[in-house]
Amino acid sequence: EAQVTQNPRYLITVTGKKLTVTCSQNMNHEYMSWYRQDPGLGLRQIYYSMNVEVTDKGDVPEGYKVSRKEKRNFPLILESPSPNQTSLYFCASSLAGSNYGYTFGSGTRLTVV
């Protein structure tokens, strides 16, 4: 089944403790992206990747890192999480760029206390 797999689904952590949210797709998509979803603000792009070893900042990259060492994986790293990073995070992939439809992962509900 074609899908984007995101883990974990739920995570509660403490301020400053490094964490990684994993994202993997099995559709050979070139473009992958991370979004955070907050009430009233919609989905805001954190980082995106056009292909392996090509990553770029979205609109809200502060406090986040990503890597794209393999085509299928695009992990999101929070090196020192803070409470303002409490949010619902979605990984998404598309065939070949920002002008193709997304397939989304199931989301990660992150709470930083």
Partner 1 sequence: GENVEQHPSTLSVQEGDSAVIKCTYSDSASNYFPWYKQELGKRPQLIIDIRSNVGEKKDQRIAVTLNKTAKHFSLHITETQPEDSAVYFCGLNTGNQFYFGTGTSLTVIP
| Interface with partner 1 (CB under 8 A) | 33, 35, 40-45, 48, 50, 56, 58-59, 90, 97-107
Q: Closer to partner 1 at the Cβ: 19 or 31?
A: 31
Q: Closer to partner 1 at the Cβ: 11 or 43?
A: 43
Q: How far is the CB of 72 from partner 1 (least distance, A)?
A: 18
Residue 85, helix vs strand vs coil: helix
Contact 12, 18 (CB under 8 A): no
Q: Closer to partner 1 at the Cβ: 2 or 14?
A: 2
The alpha carbon of residue 8 and the mean position of all alpha carbons in its chain are separated, in whole angstroms, by 12
Burial zone of 23 (CB within 10 Å; 0-12 exposed, 13-18 middle, 19+ buried) = buried
Q: How far is the CB of 104 from partner 1 (least distance, A)?
A: 4
Q: How far is the CB of 93 from partner 1 (least distance, A)?
A: 12
Residue 12 CA: distances (Å) to CA of 8, 37, 65: 10, 17, 19
